[in-house]
Structure 1
Amino acid sequence: MIEYFFSQYADYPTLDIVLEIVAVIFGLLSVWYAKKDNILVFPTGIVSTLIFVYLLWKWTLWGDMMINGYYFVMSIYGWYHWTRKKDDTVEFPISKISSSEKRIAIILFIFTVAFVVSVYHYFGKFTTWYAYVDTFITGVFFVGMWLMAKRKVENWVFWIIGDVISIPLYFSKGFTFTSFQYVVFTIVAVFGYLEWKKISDSSQTELQK
């Protein structure tokens, strides 16, 4: 069984294997902190995404590389957004998505998928089934990260969808550690959704009193 899951690492440079493990650890920490609504989600996420940008560039997985590059930028934005306060009160607490934000999310998804499709087509990367899946989950993750930076409960729905698809996707690409990471991501995302929804519902109840 060990050979089945990890045989693809036989020809990998040791440095790349170590970097992937470190990126996975920091990625798991980031998702855990997101679940707890802890601002450490962003610095840990930045470490993970920077390493993955490097690794995915080496592996010529440009769709995934763009996702992580975007995560890096949105982590900086989210870090700033989460620290904004007004009279010692968090200016943007956990809340549910608004109608206008739904429209923006749809536009962001369509634009992202169209952009990734054009990049893959230009470089002739539509040679495997997972290249097509990449275009879809890139859009899903882009929306999920944007909603998380804005502290919207629904961000977890997008993470769950993308994480579930990523489990077999990364395994088929030969990146077992990253595939296992997405198994954990899925579990944490489910609990994260339940926890954030509870906080949001509680806040709404308080406002209605």
Structure 2
Amino acid sequence: MEQIYQEVIKGFQRMTLPDIIAMVFGVISVLCSRRNSVWVYPTGLISTGIYTYTLAQAHFRLYAESALNAYYFIMSIYGWYNWSRNTTSAGDHVGISVVNRRELGIAVGIVIIGWGILYMLLHNFSDSDVPALDAFVSATACSGMWLLAKRKIENWIFLNISNLVAVPLLFYKKYESLAVLTIFLFIVAVDGYFRWRKLYRQQLNENKP
């Protein structure tokens, strides 16, 4: 534990200004997501934009996660537009729902197909030394982000599967600051899942005749 602690401290000491900005806005973004606030997207655009560049650098070589953040960036624009169309007069965002069978099939399909495609690309056309894990983290997160844009409760499940695998991967890659951020995201996502379930039940009660 002492060695891990020392590595984490060293990781934070190595943080650059862009790293700090990306982490701060990443934390703000996930907290906004937990609160079902549209600000998850503009804050997320800043964080994902920086991580798209950082993760592709030669000392990390996490190309799938870099591409994932580029996907996050694009989906944040879509999600921002989609969420902004559905607001109350007070600016609160509603419309949380659960996946139906078709949507669950699509979400699982994104994971399976995305994992296979990303692994093939990383294994054959990059110098990645962790193609399977990098591809899996990205595929599950892609699915979770798609569900988040549609305001589905299950987005938290897919995102946390991704986070769970990403933490040891990031420690292995000596990106300790992002690993610690991902642990924080995991904890918030667990709480976010139950918070969204509560909001969903409140929605159902309010819509009862």
The normalised TM-score by structure 2 is 0.87
1:5 aligns with 2:8: yes
Offset at residue 191 of structure 1 (A): 0.8
1:71 aligns with 2:68: no
Which residues in structure 2 correspond to 1:8-87 (within 5 Å)?
A: 17-58=16-57, 59-85=60-86
Q: Partners in 1 of 2:84 and 2:192 — Cα distance?
A: 20
Q: Partners in 1 of 2:112 and 2:164 — Cα distance?
A: 20
Paired residue for 1:190? 190
Offset at residue 86 of structure 1 (A): 8.5
Offset at residue 25 of structure 1 (A): 1.0
Residue type of the alignment partner of 2:42: P
Which residues in structure 2 correspond to 1:151-190 (within 5 Å)?
A: 151-190=151-190
Task: Give the stretch that moved more between structures: 114-123 or 62-71.
Answer: 114-123
Offset at residue 102 of structure 1 (A): 1.0
Contact 1:84 1:91 in 2 (8 A): no
Where does structure 1 lack aligned partners over 5 or more consecutive residues? none
Offset at residue 117 of structure 1 (A): 1.1
Contact 1:81 1:92 in 2 (8 A): no
Where does structure 2 lack aligned partners over 5 or more consecutive residues? none
Residue type of the alignment partner of 1:121: H
Offset at residue 5 of structure 1 (A): 2.4
Offset at residue 135 of structure 1 (A): 1.5
The normalised TM-score by structure 1 is 0.87
Paired residue for 1:122? 124
Q: Partners in 1 of 2:12 and 2:86 — Cα distance?
A: 47
Offset at residue 90 of structure 1 (A): 8.3
Contact 1:49 1:72 in 2 (8 A): yes
Offset at residue 204 of structure 1 (A): 2.4
Quick one: percent identity of the two aligned structures? Answer: 32
Contact 2:44 2:76 in 1 (8 A): yes
Residue type of the alignment partner of 1:26: F
Q: Partners in 2 of 1:57 and 1:167 — Cα distance?
A: 17
Offset at residue 137 of structure 1 (A): 1.4
Offset at residue 108 of structure 1 (A): 1.5
What's the CA shift string for 1:6-47, capped at 9, x where partnerless?
A: 44678x6xxx62211211111111000000011110011000
Q: Partners in 1 of 2:92 and 2:113 — Cα distance?
A: 31
Task: Give the stretch that moved more between structures: 33-42 or 81-90.
Answer: 81-90
Offset at residue 171 of structure 1 (A): 1.0
CA RMSD of aligned residues (A): 2.4
Q: Partners in 2 of 1:4 and 1:86 — Cα distance?
A: 44
1:199 aligns with 2:202: no
Structure 1 residues 86 and 124: CA distance shift in structure 2, 3 A: closer
Q: Partners in 2 of 1:80 and 1:183 — Cα distance?
A: 29
Residue type of the alignment partner of 2:51: F
Instruction: Name the SS of the counterpart of 1:57 in structure 2.
Output: coil
